[in-house]
Amino acid sequence: MEILKGAQTAVNFASYFPLLHKATADNDTPCPGYVYDEIIKLSYASAGHRCHLVDFLLSRLQASGCCGKQKVVSVMKHLTDKGHAGVRQLLRIKDTAIRAIAGGGAA
């Protein structure tokens, strides 16, 4: 039953991919404000969605160019300011991954 529940969460989260790709696109166009609001709402949806959201942002941080990285960091900032507290906890847990991506290494 747990496997089915996890699969359902992943499928539900997949419907947000176009929105997330729009928010973290590697181009110079600014991200519309409503996209930030939708991502913040997504952070309140469920614990599974929060986990997938943080993993998605970390993967985009690795794969994106300079403009994409700036947008990902901007989304992370909005999430830490207005999103669910669970997102902040997950980002704290995965701070070594963020530091490695940033090139700062472990402090």
Write down the pLDDT at residue 21: 92
- Using pLDDT thresholds of 50, 70 and 90, give the confidence band for residue 71: very high
pLDDT score for 4: 75
Query: Could you please report the per-residue DSSP string of 58-72?
Result: HHHHHH--HHHHHHH
5-49 pLDDT, tens digit per residue, is 778 878 888 889 999 999 999 999 998 999 999 999 999 999 999
Euclidean distance between the first and final Cα of the chain, in Å? 41
Per the confidence metrics, is the pTM higher than 0.75?
yes
